[in-house]
Structure 1
Amino acid sequence: MNDLVRTAVTALFVPGDRPDRYAKAATSGADLVIIDLEDAVAPPDKDAARAAVRWALSPGSDLGPRAVPGPPAALRALVRINDPATAAGAADLTAVAELVGEPGHGVVGVMVPKAARAEDLGAAIRALAAAEPGPAPAGPDAADRLAVVALIESALGVAEVRALATLPGLTRLAFGALDFALDVGADVDAVTGQVARAEVVIASRAAGLPAPWESPSTSLGDARLIEETSRAARLLGFGGRLCIHPAQLAPVRAGFAPSAEEVAWARAVAGAGSGVSRVGDEMVDRPVLERARAILRRAAP
């Protein structure tokens, strides 16, 4: 479960109060489904959404008849809870903890929004870990532990992101551009957001975490824009992107894949051998060679 979150490039949100959409999300082709109990659910509907998640991710839950034809399949999903400091968030965390105590549950882990203080995020991580039956897995079995994703959405979150990234049990970081822009009073496309993104990327790398997830695009129909902004995120150091509609999956995946030009360049460089050499007008040394190899690894089917 942990590895699923670490390697996912596309992570698709589905509103928690729309269980009729869960199965469609699960068969959308997204690397990971995130059932959202936070922003996508209005306050009066929080209890119903929480109950729907309990039903859908319980052992033996059958989603087949609700949305898509064909045999039913067990749903596996990350759950974005509400801020654990709120009553709704505490109830979400309790519900998820109760679920993970049941063998065969479909909870991949939780996404914690508004992550900003290490003590608060650490408490949520420990609460989830304590709910898992048996001793905490280690070594090769650590991939089976529940994942925890911290969503960085505020000035304080960015200021504290390096401390957050080093918390034991944290799996990955993600960036929330809209809430961050609102918090600092900046335009969503201002350079302030780029600085914040760079901090999240650097903190992830320094802590040995996978490259973080970029904030979702607000565009639902402009595939070219989604692909271009996804490519820009990849070039900044992100490893994937959150999505809010299935139509975003293909352009996000295309944006995070190396272009044909990048692959051609990488093949030429990789064929130059080790040591210092020249490829066209470019000097190739170890960092350039390693970058070329990384591009070819990403391009491999």
Structure 2
Amino acid sequence: MNPLDTPLGFSSNFLFVPGTRPERFAKALDSGADAVILDLEDAVPEDEKEHARSAIRAAWPQFTAEQKKRLVLRSNSPGTKFYVADLILAQELNIACLLIPKSESLDQINGAAQILPNTAIVPMIETAIGLDKLKELANSNQVLRLALGNIDLQADLGMVCDPQETELQVARYQIVLASRLAQIAPPIDGVTPSTDDIERIQADAQRAKRLGFGAKLCIHPKQVAPVKTAFMPSEEEVSWAKRVIEADQASKGGAIKLDGRMIDRPVVLLAQRTLAIAGKH
């Protein structure tokens, strides 16, 4: 099984749910979220880590096969005393995708990939070291896409950002560029801390799409709908994508022009992704 053969590469929203709150697991899956992250890290106090793993293990048989494809496990960060037990749980459950916080090296990711050969991996960029190692992280084994931990990165860099996080624009650009160069799925943008400011979540999601991100992390079900809407291709984008696919099929894969624009493989791949996100493939 190819670990990268997962619909999570096309998901536009990832909703966190604490591993200690199993009563919320089904609600999160039914919230309209493309993907649900069962969190063992920030949302779980140190003295409840084992309880969180046990809760996820107990709930696992209740998930359908379709739901399991939408579930992501966020481990604790490499180097912590909880990380090995988290990997053992991911291996036991044959989890579809592992989100690794504070990823900082190729060895960390490749080590997890060796233990979890059937699991897609999302390194989370949350430190100066991780930002510096973007290229090797993006090119590590089984990496599906990168994710930005914007709050932790601000803290690690000593930043005091404005509401638009203008100070993180360069970091966001670097993550998008590294993803494109590694030819992996567009990255996942970080969280919007406010759960009640719908205009803020809409603006943050729209900014993420403009910058080249393909998804955003959500911390509350209320954030899912506006994020999904922001990343949904427009009618014009879908129409263009359909025409690109039709022209590509007519040329049998050869380079052609459409409306004066050269249509090559990257353009075709973008069109395929647009249709997949729009649910019209």
- The answer on 1:36 being equivalent to 2:10 is no
Structure 1 equivalent of residue 59 of structure 2: 56
Listed one character per residue, the Cα deviations across residues 263-293 of structure 1 (whole Å, up to 9, x for unaligned) are 79x69x98xx97596xxxxxx6438xx5996
User: Of residues 53, 75, 96 in structure 2, which corresponds to 1:81?
Assistant: 75
Alignment of 1:121 with 2:97, yes or no, is no
Letter in 2 for 1:113: P
Q: 2:84 corresponds to which residue?
A: 90
Is 1:46 paired with 2:34? no
Relative to structure 1, the CA distance from residue 276 to residue 111 in structure 2 (aligned partners, 3 Å threshold; closer, same or farther) is closer
| Separation in structure 1 between the aligned mates of residue 169 and residue 150 of structure 2, nearest angstrom | 9
Over 3 Å counting, the alpha-carbon distance change for 1:187 and 1:275 in structure 2 is same
Instruction: Say if 2:135 is the partner of 1:162.
Output: yes
Is structure 2 residue 236 aligned with structure 1 residue 233? Answer: no
Deviation of 1:84 (Å): 2.4
Aligned pairs for 1:206-245 within 5 A: 206-245=181-220
Specify the code of the residue in structure 2 equivalent to 1:122: N
Distance 1:99 1:276, change over 3 A: closer
CA positional deviation for 1:128? 1.6
Deviations 1:44-80 (A, max 9, x none): 11110011111122xxx237xxxxxxxxx46521100
In the TM superposition, structure 1's runs of 4+ consecutive aligned residues that sit over 3 Å from their partners are 188-192, 258-264, 273-277, 284-287, 290-301
CA separation of 1:17 and 1:299: change in aligned 2, threshold 3 A: closer
Q: Which residues of structure 2 form unaligned runs of 5+?
A: 248-255
Q: Please, which moves more after superposition, 82-91 or 233-242?
A: 82-91
The alignment of Structure 1 onto Structure 2 pairs a total of residues equal to 258
The runs of 5 or more residues in structure 1 that have no matched partner are: 64-72, 101-106, 130-144, 278-283
Does residue 153 in structure 1 map to residue 126 in structure 2?
A: yes
In structure 2, how many angstroms separate the alpha carbons of the residues matched to 1:108 and 1:233? 25
TM-score, normalised via structure 1 length: 0.76
Q: Determine the structure 1 residue equivalent to 2:253.
A: none
Mapped pair 1:16 → 2:19 = yes
Which deviations, in whole Å up to 9, do the C-alpha atoms of 1:182-233 show, x marking residues without a partner? 0001123444411111111111111110001110111212222211210110
1:243 alignment partner AA: C
